[in-house]
Amino acid sequence: MANRIELIYRAYPKHKFIGYYELLRPILLIKDPELIEEIFVKNFHCFHDRLSKLVPLNRINQHVAFLSSIKWRQVRSKLVPTFSPMKLKMMCDSLYKCTQVLNSRISEHAQTSKPINTKDMMTRFALDVIGNCAFGLEFDAMKDTNSEFRKIGKTMVGTTSENSIRRLIRLLDPSGILKKLFDFQDISPKVDTFFFNLLKTTKELRKNESMKRNDFIQLMLNIRNKELADGDKNIIFNDDIIASNMFVFFLAGFETISTTLSFCLYELALNPDIQERVHNEIKQIRDSHNGVLDYSSLNQLTYMDMVLSETLRKYPPVPLMTRVCTETYQIPGSDIVLHPYIFVSVPVFSIHHDERYYENPEKFDPERFTEQNIARRIPNTYMPFGLGPRICIGLRFAKMEIKYCLFELLHQYKFLPCDKTDIPIKISSKGTLYTTDKPIWLTVKKI
Ligand code: HEM
C-alpha cells in the first residue's frame, strides 16, 4: 500500500489533493500541509471518526482508537491523565526491570558474536514492557518463547510481526475494503477471552490493597472507582471499555515500538559516528546520575531525541493516516464537496520523504531535528504520531520506553552490521504496513 500511495503522491507533485480508489471505495489523499491542518485540526468535528460508523461495535472493540463522537471524547478525556508525566514516572521501575532482562539477552550475543534478529528481540522486549506496564504481568517474553502473552500476541496478529502492524494500520487506517474491515472485526475468541479473563482475575487480586500496582489496568480501575464514588449515572469505564482499551494498548503498543527500535539500531549500526555521539551523551548523563535514568533526565537526552525523531521520519510505523468524513465539507478554495462516509488519508510516509520538505530524504540525518531546524520546518510535514485531537495517546509512553531501551543498550554495546544484514534494507510492499520483508540482522560488541 505504502508503495502504491507513494506512486500516486509523486505522480501529481503540484496537486494539493488527489482522489483514488481502494477497490470500490473512493478516498481523498490530502497532500498539502495547510489542507491537512484544515481537515485534521481545524475541522476535526467533520473528521473525528475512523471506522466506527461502518463496523458494528462488539465487546472488545470499544476502545479509544475505534470509538467516535461523544463516546470517544468521554473515554479519551478520562484516559489522557493515565499518560501524564506523573503517571509515567511511576512506571519507570517496571521499565527498568525489562531493560535489564533485555540487557542479559544481548550480553549473550555479545559474548558469542552470534547475530541478533533485532526485530524479534525488540518485539519480545516490547511485549515484556506492555505486559508489565499495562497489566502488571511478569510473563517474560524475553526468556520464554512460549509465554502465554507471546502466544496471545501471535494469535492476535498472526505468526509474523508484519501481520500485527497490518492489523494496527487497519485499525488506524480503515482504507475501506469491507472484507478487510470484517477480517479486522473477526478477532479470535481466544483474544477476547484472554483480555476479559485477565481483567476479571486482576479485579479479584486487586481487591487486596497490597496487590495494587502502577499500571494502566489499575489506572482504568481507578477511573471506574471514581465514577462510582461520584455517583455517575452512566458508568463509562465498564468492563467492556476497560478490556477493550487493554486490548488496544497491547495492539498499538508493541509493534510500533519494536519496529522503531529495530530501524533505529539498524541506522545506528550503519552510521557509527552517530552511534558514538549517542553513546557519549548517555555516558555523560550516567556519570552525573549514578548510572540510572530517571524520568526527569529523559529530557536531557537531546541528541538521542533527535535520532529517534529522524528514525520516525524515515520509517514512520503508520505510513498512512485515515479518517472518515462525518459531515458535508467543502474543500477550501475548490468546488469539491465531501459527503459523509468519504475517507480522507494523509500520506505520512510520502510527506516525510518529499524533497521539498527534507533535502536528501533517504539520508539518515538527526540534524534535521535541531531546535532551529524544527522551527524552520513547514508545519504538518512531520507527523509520525498523527496530529490534532486524535493524535497518538501513547506518544509520551512510547518515547519513554524507546529512550530507556537505547539508554541501557548503547552505553555498553556497539551495534554493527554483519554479513546477514540487508543493505539497503528492503521495505515490505505487502499491505499498508511499514516494515521489512526479512529480519534485521545485526551483531553487538561489548564496549
Ligand atoms: C513509536 C510508537 C508509536 C507510534 C509511531 C504511534 C503512532 C500512532 C498514530 C499515527 C496514531 C493515529 C493518530 C491520528 O490519527 O492522528 C496513533 C493512535 C493511537 N495510538 Fe499510537 N503510536 C505509537 C505507540 C503507541 C503506544 C505505546 C500506545 C499505547 C500504550 C499507543 C496507543 C494509541 C492509541 C490508543 C491511539 C488511538 C488514539 C485515538 O484515536 O484517540 N500508541 N498512534
Q: Find the 152 Cα to ligand 1 centroid distance in Å.
A: 21
The answer to whether 61 touches 187, Cβ cutoff 8 Å, is yes
> Would you call 48 helix, strand, or coil by DSSP?
coil
Contact residues of ligand 1, CB 6 A cut-off = 64-65, 76, 172, 248-249, 252-253, 256-257, 260, 312, 317-318, 321, 384-388, 390-394, 397-398
Domain that residue 167 falls in = 57-317+385-446
360 occurs within a structural domain? no
Domain containing residue 274: CATH number: 1.10.630.10
**Amino acid at residue number 180:** K
Q: Find the 388 Cα to ligand 1 centroid distance in Å.
A: 12
Q: Find the 43 Cα to ligand 1 centroid distance in Å.
A: 20
- CA nearest 100: which of 404, 415, 413, 441? 404
- CA nearest 92: which of 288, 394, 294, 291? 294
- For residue 397, which atom of ligand 1 is closest to its CA? 27
Q: Find the 230 Cα to ligand 1 centroid distance in Å.
A: 30
17 occurs within a structural domain? no
Outline where 271-394 has alpha helix (H): 272-288, 302-314, 348-352, 371-376
What is the rounded CA–CA span in Å between residue 404 and residue 383?
22
Pocket test for ligand 1, best of 392, 395, 397, 406 (most atoms within 8 A of CB): 392
371 occurs within a structural domain? no
Identify the residue whose C-alpha is closest to ligand 1 atom 18: 392
Q: Locate cell 494469535: which residue? A: 155
pLDDT in tens, 171-211: 554 444 434 444 444 467 778 888 999 999 988 888 887 77
Q: Which residues of the chain have pLDDT under 70?
A: 1-2, 52-56, 139-149, 153-187, 429-433
Q: What is the dihedral of CA 225, 230, 236, 237, to 10 degrees?
A: -10
pLDDT in tens, 95-147: 999 999 999 999 999 999 999 999 999 988 998 898 888 888 776 666 665 56
437 occurs within a structural domain? yes
Cell of 317: 510505523
- CA nearest 100: which of 120, 129, 135, 139? 129
47 occurs within a structural domain? no
- For residue 248, which atom of ligand 1 is closest to its CA? 35
343 occurs within a structural domain? no
pTM of the model: 0.92
Q: How many domains does the chain have?
A: 1
Identify the residue whose C-alpha is closest to ligand 1 atom 40: 65
Q: What is the pLDDT of residue 161?
A: 46
Identify the residue whose C-alpha is closest to ligand 1 atom 41: 390
Q: What is the pLDDT of residue 178?
A: 39
The answer to whether 370 touches 23, Cβ cutoff 8 Å, is no
